[in-house]
Amino acid sequence: MFTTSDFKKGLVIQLDGAPCLLLDVTFQSPSARGANTMVKTRYRNLITSQVLDKTFRSGDKVDEADYGRNKGQFLYADGAKGVFMDLGTYEQFEVDEEAFEALAPFLLEGTEVVLGLFEGRLVNVELPMTVELVVTETAPVLKNATATAQTKEAILETGLKLQVPPYLATGEKIKVDTRDGRFISRA
């Protein structure tokens, strides 16, 4: 059982029977005396992926979610679904088509991830911050490319399309930010 004084970014609580990850917590005191402090939260429902806001009164209690983060690994794509394995128990989990669609552009077989389990069920897959992927198709290298904001489109080995600097060639390995699908650097 958590009280509002325990709230912090990254905590997983249970609201309406679902695990919810706190994304932002703000404490507000409406009066000068500090009475009736309100706690405004923004959270993501880990089952539906909805981002919602909720305000609590100071001292309110919420249940702790039966949620665990385990090391996992992407095994393979089975059609439009993905199969992941818990590295501690070797149990395999299948991710449905809708959730896997957002993850697939960043996954190669063997990629290590963090599996979010709620009551023994997979509800969330956390990708690493960056992944290294090979450029399979891009325009030829531009000679004397300056450090201006020029970019060109590249297609990576997973099918991900993104903008890269003009000096990159086909076959090079690059780092990609998994949060926004942006080029970071050469690997």
Give the domain CATH number at 146.
Answer: 2.40.50.140
pLDDT of 81 reads: 93
Mean pLDDT of 98-126: 92
pTM of the model as a whole:
0.81
44, 17: one domain: yes
Domain ranges, residue 173? 130-186
CATH number of the domain encompassing residue 32 = 2.30.30.30
Residue 59 in this model has a pLDDT that exceeds 90? no
Number of domain units in the chain: 3
Tokens 């399979």 sit at which residue?
136
Q: What is the pLDDT of residues 129-177, one digit of tens each?
A: 999 999 999 988 766 666 567 889 999 999 999 999 888 899 999 999 9
Spatial contact of 52 and 42, defined as CB atoms under 8 Å apart: yes
Answer with the residue of higher pLDDT: 58 or 184: 184
| Least confidently predicted of 35-39, 89-93, 177-181 | 35-39
Residue 32 in this model has a pLDDT that exceeds 70? no
Given 36, 64, 92, the domain boundary residue is 64
Decide: residue 65, CB within 10 A, 0-12 exposed, 13-18 middle, 19+ buried.
buried
